Amino acid sequence: MATLGSKLGLLAAGLLLSGCVQTTTYQETSQNIFKPRDKELLAKVSYVKTPVAEPFRRAIVDYHRKEAPGSIVVDSDNHYLYLVQDGGKAIRYGITVGEEAMAWSGIAKIGNMAEWPAWHPTQSEISRLGVPKFVAPGPDNPMGSRALYLYSGGKDTLFRIHGTNQPEYIGASISSGCIRLTNEDVIDLYSRVKPGAVVVVLEPKHGDSPVNSKLALQGSNSNGSF
């Protein structure tokens, strides 16, 4: 039979080990965040609502970076977007990111926000994908249910964080450079952020770039403004 001392020793060892393991708490989607229009349009989608693989489900996790609460950090390598919280935590969302040749990285701010936005493809997308110049808002619009428009140096970067009509690609690198979440997840994210929030998109294959982190903490890009 183990003595009281040995039991306490095992408990202490267990606590030490648990401190090295990331705590992950998965979040179910609350119906309270959906507006009547959201419920109406989400009920009309024609795409298959493919369940997100467990590693990419929305979760509250331990977070080690030092961006201010309310900031967004995008880790394209691992297909995660983090919304930084107080107390060393973050809400983590699975994302679709751009193909390597079309990926974007840097520091930006949310310059505009829209619910059920229209899609205005870039000239490159029109030429490459053969899409129309304008796609009206709706349940199958590629922009999905919400869009966060990224600005840098006071100008629209043309990159967005937005919903998708292809949830089966969450966790993949196939977009034209924008950052996609499921329509449900982007509604959740949209409800938690404000215009002006800092967005740090880490440079692919560079891990937690100290340059990106430093710039975000300073609150400016290399030109001194967003």
Give, as one character, the DSSP assignment of residue 131. -
Give, as one character, the DSSP assignment of residue 30. P
- Reported as a single tens digit per residue, the pLDDT across 159-206 is 999 999 999 999 999 877 789 999 999 999 999 999 999 999 998 877
Catalytic, 120? Answer no
- Reported as a single tens digit per residue, the pLDDT across 123-151 is 877 787 777 788 889 998 999 999 999 99
- Answer CATH for 22-218 from 3.30.565.60, 2.40.440.10, 1.10.10.60, 3.40.50.300: 2.40.440.10
Q: Residue ranges per domain, the chain?
A: 22-218
**93: Cβ contacts below 8 Å, ≥ 6 apart:** 56, 58, 80, 81, 82, 83, 181, 185, 188, 189
Catalytic, 79? Answer no
Catalytic member of 20, 64, 79, 162: 162
Can you give the pLDDT at residue 102? 59
Rounded Cα–Cα distance for residues 74 and 81 (Å)? 4
**82: Cβ contacts below 8 Å, ≥ 6 apart:** 61, 63, 65, 72, 73, 74, 75, 90, 91, 92, 93
Rounded Cα–Cα distance for residues 71 and 73 (Å)? 7
Catalytic member of 20, 64, 178, 206: 178
Residue 74 has pLDDT above 80, yes or no: yes
